Structure 1
């Protein structure tokens, strides 16, 4: 009965916002002005139209427009502008508008201009990085091109305060501000176009579900974000924004390389009146050079150990982003397959066999200005996940798991006055159909149900936040209440103060709270290697940070200090008597850190970035986590253009850490560097652009070891994440 009521509620939620259509009518004379959001100048002689009306006009030499429209059109929504993107629409009154636009192609903008672009990840309203009430970093398309990033993980690895680890089971496990993940990255929320995506068994998502050719930028919010996004926004949020081009834009990206690598992908954009669509498809494979797992030679599992390993990766994805009037439809479908180290690791437990992830995210978004003071945002999303992998040497037995989420969201923004607005929202989510089974593949029989007495997890939450904005101060206070069917009630809050010294200088003081409810695996798992715990408490985080942001002409700087207290951190614990392990809550973990992020553009031909972060724990309990985390991390890159040619290098260095605490052996400091050479070629009267790039990835042939802190198995001190050595890759990007 409870589940039926829950599903009925979601159905009603869906029906509510699908049925929101404005049918009223009024005669109006619509006037306004088009303004370039980058330099503040007016935009003359640009076509402007009203959605769904067929009425169009052109701005005059002063950027002004005037359109007489019939009585039947009450709510004004503007068509997309050619070669421009709408950043903000200000209603002076019900018939007069100021429309702020920016160029669709941001590649040629200066740093000063780029950081005026508004991000979506830190608030319900778009803000520039100077005024946003959170600490936000951006990895844009320009960086992607200059350093030839091949994956979302490579892009995120450049973000200060973030790192990418690898476990026996999963690639590309993202961590933030030193709080270690277990096998799965379930403490950072990943979103695609502001739609959260994660699977209910582990609570994580696959970063390889999108190809870099389809990405315009990645917005990274650091710190607790549960007030905005709920449970899984525990340590940060990653928001992936897809490319949005002009009508008829086609982008193709091809790559090949050593040891054995190949990829191909393309996307196309259609725009017509009220309708726009972005479609993409991508496929890739890589067979990396075999390498020796030095830390696992003596780690015997039933007399077997993984010594030499060859990693193979295959991936494909298909994506659609379509907008019609107030509605947006998103589809992301992917398959990602990689060989893994085995459960223990050992060949007897599946090492060298493929692990395959499949998933689909479908979402519909509705955005509507109900009147000049009230805006409605509503989303409905379905998120499906499936994984299967061998659990023995010949693949005759396997583990198969699947689950899905359905979530509905309604948010209202009400502008109380010119300087004060209120946000309220309601989220309803069900994590359901969780399955994790051991299977006899040869006889197609289920051997064991590994989620014992598992049930659906229902979660309902509401939030409110009040935002005051003046020329100097930007104040925000927010609060979220959440009820989880297994974890009970939770309350999270955040308070942010932004002092704007000028348009390009701001000081931020941020207090944030977050929580993460236990996943199905952590609650219900019943396996010889590890068991769940129904008595787990939700993880809770409290954070305070002080940040300074500066961006003017050639230089952008963001530096901050933070203190965080993590309570009830869920970790996998193996008793001295050996497996099975059990998930349990640890004591409070306290840490602090300093982050420095700089981007410098000497000329249009020379630019670079430099990131540094320091982090450490407070007290003996915190040592359990921070002894495995580098205190010092350096990330840097330099790009130089020579006419149509360019050269760039980027590097990554970490200080020493402790490996397996049972062995008490340190891992020395490490350094990795990539190098790139490229050539931009224009053909057919500038209608066809080719970008050739040759990259040497991991020039230093570094192993980039990470500690074995999860299982803490005897004789495994560390694990190589780049043990396969150097890679040489040629990439061709085609734009026409």
Structure 2
């Protein structure tokens, strides 16, 4: 009760402060609406996450929201994950094995974030073995905007866009212009159980060009160590642990004439809490990720419309320890080669046809256990040299005429392992006027099982793949209203979503290849379940003040409920589990940014509503940041306090479901200084 009261007090104080600061006065009456409306209508007509043709948030044929560069800088977001945490309908979670898992509308992702497609400049990127995307392949200083599509998106992107898509758009100078930037930062603080939290950050970017050639190149590095905290592991041993994360990224984007090239390379190191959540006297386990991506595209300009060819190669590697001594590690390597051809045909009377074809080769090169001290192989986990091909055709017929924008179509996909799928969508947008629109949307999506989910067979056995898995499927029905009045913008969505054959970790007796495993974790398809929800986003943009408020609430069924056996330790009982058991009752985010002359200040907060773990209830969780800064010319200094309340933000452990009930998402307060110079 006290925790709930403190959160209500903090939210009320934040809203009251926003109301006072945003109340109209003599200066506010002179606020310039041009800047706000230019973004909402003209500059925003570059969103491409929902269509091959640029759209605005008002007439997009999907449910799209955006975080632009101005918002990133106002609230001093330190990463893509931190910015996404403020979006309605999207939460960034973790498990004991993985961090920064984007989760849309409460549809939980297991260790591997393979239900939400992550892209750079509309180019999908994900691991061919385990299927996860990676929000940390681009540093925040290289980001122009983040486009978020909520809802199924397979008609656009095929597999892995099951519940939504995140498109990270790189910064580029306007044609004929040049700019560069350099950013550095340091942070330190104490909190949690003991120790200090330390962060270092640096990055640089340059963009320019001459004639028909333009380019952008960026590089950045971020290292973060959380304050230590006491955590009980699966053996009920209480240890002091200090979680950490580090990432280095390199990006190049170039265009010449009708051709373009995107290059991305990244490496990250992060801790995880062991394959069996046993911490070995507090020692954490280090996971390393490496990735490289190259994508070439060429746009033809036939008289009948447009034709675009794209070729993409995406390589990813993960290295994780399998035992407490770090003597046995797993080397997980996969790659994807994609060729696609997309066309738009202009038809009479405002009609148009979007169509295309794609072929993708996915190579699960290895999931190899080896001895780190000798390099000798230990076990291939039944995941060596597995190749799969997926081919697809898509077509959509649209009408853009006056106040109405209509679209209907589908994608047929043939997967070499998962068989055939047909996903469809239909959209109807009615523009009441240029600042108000109504949307009615229907969309379907699917996700093919990954090689890991189908074939994984380790020694010793931890979890077993299931070759008989069916693809996951989902469909949603949405109604949305978008409106702007004066300096305010609002986006309200109501949806109903159905989830079919969702892939999850079950536990019990399982037979594969004629051998029966007793009481083992294995992958299975869940019965159909559903959810209804509301999402609201409100923004205010004035000359000297900006504010936002995001809220979402969902109600999910428990038709996928399954029994969880007792762990056989500490007298703990078993229980029952279903997807939405672990989703908070609501999520709330808000922020306020003001400036006066060369000075600026901002604060933002996040709330996860009350929720549950396997056996316990989890009270609402609150955290907030605040920053103060000074700018002069191209130089900007900012001082920020992260996690103002110095609390430990806890979320349920929803994968292993044995002894440990919750995991820390954020812990400890820290003070952060950031310097940036634009030239």
TM-score (norm 1): 0.81
1:206 aligns with 2:134: yes
Contact 1:692 1:731 in 2 (8 A): yes
Provide the C-alpha distance between the structure 1 equivalents of 2:151 and 2:670, rounded to a whole number of angstroms.
34
Q: Which residue in 1 is equivalent to 2:675?
A: 732
For 1:322-721, list aligned pairs within 5 A: 322-348=254-280, 351-371=283-303, 373-452=304-383, 455-527=386-458, 528-575=461-508, 580-601=520-541, 603-621=542-560, 624-660=578-614, 664-682=615-633, 689-714=634-659, 716-721=660-665
Could you say which residue in structure 1 is the equivalent of 2:105? 177
Number of residue pairs aligned between Structure 1 and Structure 2: 611
Where do 5+ consecutive residues of structure 1 fail to align?
1-106, 683-688
Alpha-carbon separation, structure 2, partners of 1:377 and 1:319 = 22
| Counterparts of 2:394 and 2:283, CA distance in 1 | 45
Corresponding residue for 1:283? 221
| Counterpart check, 1:262 vs 2:200 | yes
Structure 1 residues 564-613: Cα deviation after superposition (integer angstroms, max 9, x where no partner): 00000000112289753100000001101000111012x31111000110
SS in 1 for 2:205: strand
Q: What SS does the corresponding residue of 2:582 show, helix, strand or coil?
A: coil
- Secondary structure of the equivalent of 1:521? helix
C-alpha distance in 2, partners of 1:285/1:636?
27
1:111/1:556 contact within 8 Å kept: no
1:252 corresponding residue in structure 2: 182
Give the Cα separation in 1 of the matches to 2:57 and 2:383: 46
Runs of 4+ with deviation above 4 angstroms: 348-351, 576-579
CA deviation digits over 1:614-671, x for unaligned, max 9? 10113543671112101211110011112111111100112111112xxx21001111
Shift in Å, 1:287: 2.5
Residues 608 and 578 of structure 1, relative CA distance in 2, 3 Å threshold? farther
User: CA separation in 2, counterparts of 1:353 and 1:668?
Assistant: 29
1:301-343 CA-to-partner distances (Å, cap 9, x unmatched) read xxx8462111222211111000010110000000001122111
Spell out, residue by residue over 1:177-200, the C-alpha distance to the aligned partner (whole angstroms, 9 max, x if none): 011111111000011111111111
Equivalences for residues 32-43 of structure 1 within 5 A: none
Task: State the shift of 1:288 in Å.
Answer: 2.4
Secondary structure of the residue aligned to 1:145 is helix
> Cα distance 1:133–1:165, how it changes in 2: closer, same or farther (>3 A)?
same
Query: Per chain length, whose mean CA-contact separation is higher, i.e. which structure has more relative contact order (CA < 8 Å, sep 6+)?
Result: 2
> Contact conserved, 1:257 with 1:729, CA < 8 A, in 2?
yes
Distance 1:579 1:330 in 2: 47
Gaps of 5+ in 2: 1-31, 189-196, 510-516, 562-576
Give 3-state SS (helix, strand or coil) of 1:347's partner. coil
Alpha-carbon deviation of 1:108? 10
Shift of 1:452: 4.6
CA deviation map 1:330-364 (0-9, x unaligned): 00000001122111112349951321000001000
- Indicate the structure (1 or 2) with the bigger Cα radius of gyration: 1
> Is the partner of 1:518 in helix, strand or coil?
coil
Report deviation, 1:110.
2.5
**RMSD across aligned positions (CA):** 1.8
> Deviations along 1:688-722, whole A, 9 cap, x unmatched?
x11111111111123221112211012x1111111
- 8 Å Cα contact 2:65-2:147 kept in structure 1: yes
Deviates more, 1:484-493 or 1:340-349: 340-349
CA distance in 2, matches of 1:619, 1:181: 17
- Secondary structure of the residue aligned to 2:452 is helix
